[in-house]
Amino acid sequence: MRLDRVTIRNYKSIKSIELRIPQKEEQRQGSADFLSIVGENNAGKSSILEAIRLACSASMKASEEQFPGNASSNGPIEVELEFDQLTDSDRQLDALKDNTFFDGTQQRYRLKRVWKAINGAAENWSYNPDRPPNYQLTGWSAKKGIKSLEKEDERWKPIVERALKDGAPAKPTLEQLLSAARELQSPLLEVHKQEEWVLHPGSIATALEAALPSVIYVPALRETSEETDVGAKQSAIRKIVNALFEQQLANHECVIRFKSAADELQELFATEGKHRIVASMEEKLTEKFKELINIRAELKFTTPDVTSDLASSTEFRVVDGALSTRPDSQGHGAQRSIVLALLQLYVEQNRQSASRERQHMLFLIEEPEIYLHPGMCRRMRDTLLKIAQSGVGQVLCTTHSPVFLDLADRHDGIVILRKKDGHPEAYQRTEDVFDQSATDKEQRARLRMLLNFDPAVNEAFFSEKVCLVEGDCELAAIDSVARKLHKSGELSWSKYLLARRATTLINCRGKWTIPAFQKVLKAFGIHYSVVYDLDEGDQADLANAQIEALLNEGGTSLTHAPNFEKFIFGETWRTDKPWTATKRIDEATECNERLLKFFEFALGQPLSELKPESVAPTPAEAAPPQVNRPRRRNLRNRLKELKVPHDVIQSARRLDQIFRVAAGPNFAPRPDQDTFSHSIDGTKIDAFAVVTGDSMADTLQNNDVVALKVLQGVNLEPMQETDAQTNTTLPSVIENDGIYVLAYNDYIDQKSYTMKRVRISVLPDGTWRGDLSADNPAVHWGDRGLLQIRKTDRIHFAAQVIGIVRSNDEQPTSVAVQELTLVPTEQDPVFEEN
């Protein structure tokens, strides 16, 4: 039995979403039982997996935050699960009896689970449009006799006669009367069609547990440690270890002996031949019962299944060098690697025991690429694909990585989520973009070749808009133009970066691949534009015709005749086109009109919107502005130099107590003073941080490792816009003369945060503002930009920088930064200085 369709209603921000999981079809290439869900942050990807997990657990209850707006009045939560490919053993399950239906020749089971109250049990409804109707007889009452019925209505007489003729007693039963009425087609026979959805009785939970797929859920970010804890009953690692133990040990001679001994023990409690000790105990208990109530005692013994939950009695540890630790004591990357290794082993073992009847498994993986370097990321995808392809289970994953998408594969395995009016909407193909025609087969082959050469083109699925270009020359020209305009003061670099990151520029490496991309982008509703050369010759005309035909169905274009370099620069180049274009742009005194038109078209934004903000001139006679804030040129001498032993740094790394300041997201948890806290030279250290970038030089320099002291009681939970601020501690504890960092995020769904050096102030309207600290000698403190702290943001913690960390060998710890496990991220955009 495989999961074919999922419908989710009223779960968190989801109003209504339906997903189909692709199934294997001989005539279709590509991966089945594998679904990749993509979308922007906070689009609802995690909510889909959480809802499926909720529905696949027979006993799980809905919490307050799972209802829309955290209120059950906005419910009920509904999740429909539809299964196909039912086996004979599936049909024998109690939950499926009389609750399946046929869609054509395929038998299906559809279940709807409904949660109406917070922490309340679910209602369970089964669907069957083919249920036999209910029959009733007009005027029938069990209290009435046959003669009374015949007296009230003479149409009863032939029914009674027919029932008696068939050998019924003097008073036929209702079933016998109904049978006679159906045979006679009596007008007294009432036919009532049953409802398609029927409510299961309250005791269905156990039956559902046997029917629903076993879920292995691997969440992203902070919860990873829970999923690698064998002791946690619902953890992924425990379920995987259990499944492996059950497969490998079920027929082991020790297990067989244990089961045999357990059977012998059960004989002591058997009704026939019960052991005298057991019988004597029952008699004594019965005597005591009868003194109070007329009941008797009976002792029964259930044979334990030694293989059913071996993981709960097994301690799983990993050895790192000479140190043996629990998996949850390792870093997040190591934990994900452990899960990957177990999944690989699970696939291999299931292949060897493919003939065994087993409960279907559903793997729900949030952001499988997280914490993994690119090579491991690809291995994770390969492993999950093997799970789906081998029939071991189905895989649903959310992802921000192009590695987990394949534009040339089956397109019904990709779901794009977009928010509309605050609610996620799913875009999913039900069939492939490419058909079996010769042209489409060629286009698929060209797309496959490009993907093999450059997998990053899958980034199109993660973009607001896409621009398709023929080659490297166009890409090189865009960046060169931006640098030249920025240097001349005509372009804001930060605005350019925002525009550049909002548009994915795809190098199609020739115009023949462009139509394939156009088809895929149009099919998924992704806005695109095309830049291509008209060229000369029959083959070029044929390719141009295909591009134009698809553009008529959606998309915009910019053409160059005969080609880019001739049209823009008036030259013909044979080799080194990207380098030549860059050189010509750098050498020119200004960018010509055609080049600027291309630049604006590719970015999808006019140059006027990318210009720097104008600054009002200061009158010559006006007094120079007074700077109320003290100048911050170099506070490095205020920081202690702390000699920290190497093992303390390593301990902080293992416990995820090393953070990142000034650039990029942190995926580490909050500082844990109970787990990690050290005193060095009389100074208490709660955590460490690595400085990235030069925005805080001279005080904090790139690759500095600094010690942090966490400020107590500083946090702010996200609230509604109408709520008042409640935490007044934050502005008062961050002093003007200290060096402080703040951990915050404005996308709660990311479950990550950014650390910035700040000075906090409270504005007259009660909102908070954080001035980003810069100690660069060329600027004043706070002149690098503003951090707006909104009521919907979350402040995780604040900390004071108390020292520069040096190792015991007197060398700055910046040299040892290579030993620290950090998530690589790109630098923050540069703040413009006017």
Residue 758 lies in a domain: yes
Residues 692 and 555 in one domain: no
> Strand runs (DSSP E) across 41-163, as ranges?
77-84, 100-103, 106-115, 123-127, 134-137
Gap between the Cα atoms of 69 and 342, Å rounded: 38
Considering only residues 729 and 79, tell me which one the structure prediction assigns the higher pLDDT: 79
Maximum mean pLDDT: which of 146-150, 310-314, 483-487: 483-487
Across the range 383-391, mean pLDDT stands at 86
Maximum mean pLDDT: which of 3-7, 692-696, 743-747: 3-7
The pLDDT tens digits of the residues spanning 617-645 come to: 555 544 444 444 444 446 677 788 888 88
Residues 764 and 660 in one domain: yes
The pLDDT tens digits of the residues spanning 523-554 come to: 888 889 999 999 988 889 999 999 999 997 77
**pLDDT band for position 314 (50/70/90)?**
low
pLDDT at 443 over 60: yes
Residue 269 lies in a domain: yes
- The angle subtended at Cα 469 by Cα 465 and Cα 471, nearest 5°, is 140
Average the pLDDT over each of 195-204, 646-655, 690-699, 800-809 and give the range with the smallest value: 690-699
The pLDDT tens digits of the residues spanning 562-590 come to: 999 999 999 999 888 999 999 999 999 99
Residues 550 and 691 in one domain: no
Q: What is the pLDDT of residue 592?
A: 94
Residues 540 and 667 in one domain: no
Of 263, 279, 306, the residue at which a domain comes to its end is 306
Considering only residues 323 and 769, tell me which one the structure prediction assigns the higher pLDDT: 323
pLDDT at 335 over 60: yes
Residue type, 603: L
**63 phi/psi in degrees, rounded to 5:** -90, 170
Q: Structural domain tally of the chain?
A: 4
The pLDDT tens digits of the residues spanning 90-124 come to: 998 888 888 899 998 899 999 999 999 999 989 99
Residue 96 lies in a domain: no
**pLDDT band for position 813 (50/70/90)?**
very low
Q: What is the pLDDT of residue 581?
A: 93
Residues linked to residue 298 through DSSP beta bridges, in sequence order = none
Average the pLDDT over each of 146-150, 485-489, 603-607 and give the range with the smallest value: 146-150
Q: What is the CATH number of the domain that holds 585?
A: 3.40.50
Residues 740 and 592 in one domain: no
pLDDT at 719 over 60: no
Q: What is the pLDDT of residue 598?
A: 96
User: Both tokens of residue 344?
Assistant: 């690989």
Across the range 807-816, mean pLDDT stands at 46
Please state whether beta strands 740-745 and 665-666 pair in parallel, antiparallel, or not at all (unpaired): unpaired
Gap between the Cα atoms of 390 and 548, Å rounded: 42
CB 706 within 8 A of CB 688: yes
Gap between the Cα atoms of 530 and 518, Å rounded: 9
817 Cβ partners below 8 Å, 6+ apart?
690, 703, 705
**Residues spanned by the domain of 148:** 134-192
Gap between the Cα atoms of 607 and 598, Å rounded: 11
Across the range 769-781, mean pLDDT stands at 45
HEC states along 331-345?
Answer: CHHHHHHHHHHHHHH
Considering only residues 497 and 167, tell me which one the structure prediction assigns the higher pLDDT: 497
CB 368 within 8 A of CB 393: no
| pTM score, whole prediction | 0.63
**pLDDT band for position 236 (50/70/90)?**
low
Residue 185 lies in a domain: yes
CB 517 within 8 A of CB 444: no
User: Both tokens of residue 279?
Assistant: 């019988």
The pLDDT tens digits of the residues spanning 28-74 come to: 666 789 999 998 888 899 999 999 999 998 888 999 999 999 999 99
Residues 653 and 601 in one domain: no
Token match 């205020």: residue?
A: 638
Q: What is the pLDDT of residue 781?
A: 35
pLDDT at 815 over 50: no
Of 306, 327, 348, the residue at which a domain comes to its end is 306
Q: What is the pLDDT of residue 473?
A: 93
Residues 172 and 285 in one domain: no
Residues 437 and 569 in one domain: yes
pLDDT at 224 over 60: no
Q: What is the pLDDT of residue 704?
A: 83
Average the pLDDT over each of 71-75, 172-176, 724-728 and give the range with the smallest value: 724-728
Q: What is the pLDDT of residue 594?
A: 95
Residue among 773, 770, 781, 658 nearest 708 (CA): 658
Residue 60 lies in a domain: no
Residue 188 lies in a domain: yes
Of 177, 192, 207, the residue at which a domain comes to its end is 192
Gap between the Cα atoms of 230 and 253, Å rounded: 25
Across the range 653-677, mean pLDDT stands at 65
Average the pLDDT over each of 416-425, 669-678, 807-816 and give the range with the smallest value: 807-816
393 Cβ partners below 8 Å, 6+ apart?
33, 213, 216, 360, 361, 362, 363, 387
226 Cβ partners below 8 Å, 6+ apart?
219, 232, 235, 328
Average the pLDDT over each of 76-80, 350-354, 484-488, 802-806 and give the range with the smallest value: 350-354
**pLDDT band for position 436 (50/70/90)?**
low
Residues 763 and 814 in one domain: yes
Residues 582 and 658 in one domain: no
Residues 647 and 595 in one domain: no
Helix (H) or strand (E) holding 171: none
Task: State the chain's mean pLDDT as an integer.
Answer: 77
Residue 114 lies in a domain: no
Q: What is the pLDDT of residue 738?
A: 63
Residues 571 and 605 in one domain: yes
**pLDDT band for position 777 (50/70/90)?**
very low
pLDDT at 190 over 60: yes
Q: What is the pLDDT of residue 662?
A: 60
Residue 226 lies in a domain: no
Maximum mean pLDDT: which of 1-10, 486-495, 710-719: 1-10
pLDDT at 787 over 60: no
